[in-house]
Structures are given as structure tokens and as C-alpha cells.
Structure 1
Amino acid sequence: MKTTAKITRDSLMTLEAYSKYRKENKPAIIAHRKLRSVCLGEHINLQFESETSIRYQIQEMLRVEKIFEEEGIEQEIEAYAPLVPDGTNWKGTLMLEYPDISERKRELARLIGVEDHMFIEVEGHGRVYAIADEDMDRENDEKTSAVHFVRFELDPAMCAAVKAGAGVKLGCDHTHYPAHVNIPAETLASLASDLR
């Protein structure tokens, strides 16, 4: 898969080329996504996105929807490209995972605003809270969504600390979901490569 700083229509594969690529490379893409996935407690999973994961997502949408016309391709790029980190941040897909439907309904009602309580904390620096759902509001007065899109903006000192090997904690300080976890070293190494 051709990776560039920017995902454009010209940098994407045709449906035929992607079909071939997908057969050979799906395990590597799955491994990449797994590496960049951090579980926080039992029910929150944060998938830190990358140019590779978003390019794959766009190619998958084009494949599934059989989109090959210019306008449709541009719409998919427009929808997903903003999730690619741009050198001073980490962006991710926040998923609240409750397999049981009645438990999910109850917990999504209790967890209104959870996306605004997500934070990262670079060793030696203060917490950085998520900027959530910039594309649209994903909750209402009755419940939050099971999926949110978040961005963590890091200042230059934080970026330098991460690149120098500082530890990073992912956490949530929502009343009904207090949790934190140290981001594993191999995941952090991948995330550090997103920063300039």
C-alpha cells in the first residue's frame, strides 16, 4: 500500500489492485491495528489511528461499497482523512464495548460525556484531555454513542519527551468509569512515529 503524507485519490489503489493487495497484506494490517489498540478497563478500547489504518479503512469502504467514481472516492477521503494524525497529535476511534444489549443501553446512559473525560498523560507533563467528535455530536440527553472520534494535542515538549522514551498513560476520569493504564512500550513506539 502506497503511503504518503496525504491520502489522495491518486494515492489509492484501484479496486482490482486493492483486492490483490488485501489478500496478501490483511494479516499485517490487522497486526498494525492491534498494535495501536489500547484497552482501558473492560469496556473501553481506543484505536489510535495512523495513515496506514485510515488508508486501509478508506480502501475497505471503497471495496465494500464498490465505489470507483471520482465523487464517491473523494467523499470517503473527506470522511476519513481527518482521522490521520498530523505530527502534533494522536487521533483515535474510542469504542465503548458492551456485548450485552441491555447492559450497553444502561451503561451508555450512565457514561454521557465519557469522551470528554479521556486523557493522556506524558511522564513529567500534565494531562491532555481529548477533543472529541469534531465532525458531529455523538450523544444526546439520554445516552452517549458507543463510538467517538478523539484527538489529543501534544505540545512540543510532550512530543520531544515521547520521542525520547517517556512513558505515557491513557486514562478516563469519568465518575462512572475511572481507569488508567500505561500504554505498552511497543504501542508507544508506534505512536511516537506519528510525532514530529
Structure 2
Amino acid sequence: MTLSRADLWSLEEYAQERAGFREKVLAHKKSRQLALGAHARLYFEDTLTIKYQIQEMLRIERVFEAEGIHEELDAYNPLIPDGHNWKATFMIEYTDPAERAVRLGELIGIEDVTWLQVEGFDKIFAIADEDLERETADKTSSVHFMRYELTPAMITAAKKGAKIFAGIDHDNYRIDAFEVADNIRNSLVADLNEAAIN
């Protein structure tokens, strides 16, 4: 489900709702992030997380005109899953700037080999950075936008309780397959809709 202007609060309304809404979103996000080792993480997006991002952008930029609101909706709506995929922000996280610079040079292509897997099926490799190229010949970016497309059979299996696994197949940052925790698995399965594949 994509968001429309009708789904958003005005700046005045959001000022009143923000504290409670932010608390709700932060609690929700706890089951929407997946650590891949010590220095990489997937932050899975959905309608609630994207609504929060849009509201925050409108608030920060003091946008209240229709054209500006629609620009934010157009920018963020593609990050909401469509019922047959998972969408996530992939972050490479090194706190020391010098170390981060070195590691980003060593991790070119990591976004293309970060995968999810429904039990009994092949790995699902991410379709990364569809909006713009975030990698150069010298380094990868610390932020990537990922889409994981599932087949109808994968969706059915996940809905019936199949386990979900994750990992990274990069020579310089290898994460062997591990089972995704139940709270995250359940949150991801809620993104899937068997009707969306027909």
C-alpha cells in the first residue's frame, strides 16, 4: 500500500501527534532490523516506517504546500514493499571514519551478495540501488536501498511458517547463513500478500 496526502498529518497535527507516533514507530522498528555481523545491518521498510520518514522530512523542511508534499511521497513510496517483496535500507556501519573509508574500498559489490532465503528455496539476492548508482570504482557506499523479490511459492511457504535465513557472500565480509529471529521473521511475513502475486 502506498501513502497519499490523505494519510499524512498537517504540520500542526504532526506537532501534536509526534511524541506518541515516534514512540510507536521506534518500538515497531525493533522487529524491522537485522544485524549481519558487527558492521552491516538491514533496516526493513514498511508503510509505518515510511510514513514516519515522510512526516519527519516535512517537519524538518517545513513543507506544507501540496507540490512539496507530493514530491516527498513520490520519493519515499517506492520504498514500501508491494506484497511480493521485502524492501530495506542496507547500512555498512563503522564508527571510525578512517576505518570506514578503508573498509568501503574493500567491500565493493557487497550490496549484490547480501541475501535472504525462505527455507527450502534458493537464496534471494538483493536488487540494489534502483534509484541511483551508489558505488564507484574505488568504493561502495555506506547506504544502499535493497529490494528482495519472492516467488509465489516462497510467499506461500513463508506464510505457512517456513524459516527465513540471511547471509552475505562477500570475500571480505562473509556472513554464513543464520536463521532470522522469530520477531523479525513474523514482521517480514506480514509484508507478504499472496494476492499480490496473482
Alignment of 1:26-105 (within 5 A): 26-105=22-101
Cα offset, 1:181, TM superposition: 2.9
Taking the aligned partners of 1:138 and 1:144, their CA distance within structure 2 comes to 7
Question: Which secondary structure does the structure 1 equivalent of 2:41 belong to?
Answer: strand
Cα offset, 1:169, TM superposition: 0.8
Taking the aligned partners of 2:101 and 2:182, their CA distance within structure 1 comes to 34
Are positions 1:145 and 2:141 aligned together? yes
Question: Which secondary structure does the structure 1 equivalent of 2:30 belong to?
Answer: helix
Alignment of 1:1-196 (within 5 A): 5-179=1-175, 180-196=177-193
Letter of the structure 1 residue corresponding to residue 183 of structure 2? E
- Unmatched segments (≥5 aa) in structure 1: none
| Contact 1:131 1:152 survives alignment (8 Å) | yes
Task: Show the counterpart of 2:196.
Answer: none
| Contact 2:22 2:52 survives alignment (8 Å) | no
Cα offset, 1:23, TM superposition: 1.3
Letter of the structure 2 residue corresponding to residue 66 of structure 1? R
Question: Which secondary structure does the structure 1 equivalent of 2:76 belong to?
Answer: helix
Could you list the runs of 4 or more consecutive aligned residues of structure 1 that deviate by over 4 angstroms after TM superposition? none
Identity, in percent, stands at 47
Give RMSD over aligned pairs. Answer: 0.9
* TM-score scaled by length of structure 2: 0.95
Question: Which secondary structure does the structure 2 equivalent of 1:35 belong to?
Answer: coil
Cα offset, 1:105, TM superposition: 0.1
